[in-house]
Amino acid sequence: MSLSDLQSEIRALLHERNAILLAHYYQREEVQEIADILGDSLALSIEAARTNADVIVFAGVHFMAESASIISPDKTVLLPHLGAGCPLADKITPASLAEARKKYPDAAVVTYINSSAEIKAHSDICCTSANAVKVVNSLTDARQILMIPDGNLARYTARFTDKEIIPWEGYCPFHHFVLPEEVARAKAEHPGALFIAHPECNEAVVAMADFVGSTSAMIEFCRKTDVREIIVGTEIGIMTPLKKQNPEKIFISPSESLVCQTMKLITLENILASLKTMTPVIKVPEAIRIPAKRALDRMLAVR
């Protein structure tokens, strides 16, 4: 079947099932093209809660589908490929977090949204890469913050707070292994270009950036800037919305590392199969969902 036939069949089945397709910015272009909503993980989960659809097909990774299930427990959440996990989320377990809590009994635990529902359930509050600084500074009673599981985001956040930040030594392998030499080479090849970086990149790469921000912040930055060439330090899927929104601008990826293999496990074929079989379903059990939702709601209350 051709890509466009697959896309048409999916759209028809979405309609028949009263389902919506949510796609993350890091998804394949042909998946982004037919999504009802395109966004970062938090925006997608919030939109999922607002819709009247009965079924949410999540073209993203496991923790994102879990977030949708946490926020919308009455909807059926489908993740078309169960192998679509997040290597960063896997860098912490409930047992290792319990150990860290013992070691730092006074620390508040701030958990990046890229984490399992179970880890969120054991956290004080969640954050995203867009609101990490605000979330940390909102914790007026806490002097010490254990930031999990992304050490790079924790170190970046530490620059904007007086609190003591204890970074968890996890990382996203795709962002973390972008090399400063690769960025320097891209800058040399495109001397007029700006370099924008995601805070999951390592410290040396972040230090080279003209702008640091979450995927949504990067998209907004690229829309507003008058500079025509931009080197983009995040996963390659973001090039799809960037090019679509800014056809007159040139976007350059500095590194071959920036391809999230698990995001790419979601394909038109498995989205179609998932809609036909209504599997695999992601359902967070209530005992985990309720405390995890508390940590997410606490974050959403931060202004």
Give the residues lining the site for ligand CIZ (CB under 6 A).
24, 40-42, 113-114, 128-129, 198, 214-216
Question: 128 with 40: CB under 8 angstroms?
Answer: yes
Cis peptide before 241 (omega within 30 of 0): no
Question: 144 with 163: CB under 8 angstroms?
Answer: yes
Which of 196, 187, 253, 194 lies closest to 228, judged by CA? Answer: 194
Q: Please report how close the Cβ of residue 27 comes to ligand CIZ at its closest, in angstroms.
A: 11
Measured between its terminal Cα atoms, the distance across the chain in Å is 48
The residue (of 153 and 272) whose beta carbon lies closer to ligand CIZ is 153
Give the tokens for residue 16.
Answer: 């028949």
Q: Please report how close the Cβ of residue 179 comes to ligand CIZ at its closest, in angstroms.
A: 20
In SS3 terms, 120-151 reads as HHCCCEEECCCCHHHHHHHCCCCCEEEEECEH
The residue (of 108 and 113) whose beta carbon lies closer to ligand CIZ is 113
Give the tokens for residue 158.
Answer: 């530490």
Residue entry with tokens 């490929």: 81
The residue (of 262 and 267) whose beta carbon lies closer to ligand CIZ is 262
Q: Please report how close the Cβ of residue 277 comes to ligand CIZ at its closest, in angstroms.
A: 27
Q: How far is CA 233 from CA 70, 86, 113, 238, 242, in A?
A: 30, 18, 20, 10, 13
| Phi, psi of 170, rounded to the nearest 5 degrees | -95, 165
Q: Please report how close the Cβ of residue 65 comes to ligand CIZ at its closest, in angstroms.
A: 12
Q: Please report how close the Cβ of residue 112 comes to ligand CIZ at its closest, in angstroms.
A: 8
The residue (of 107 and 222) whose beta carbon lies closer to ligand CIZ is 222
The residue (of 41 and 253) whose beta carbon lies closer to ligand CIZ is 41
The residue (of 7 and 27) whose beta carbon lies closer to ligand CIZ is 27
Q: Please report how close the Cβ of residue 36 comes to ligand CIZ at its closest, in angstroms.
A: 17
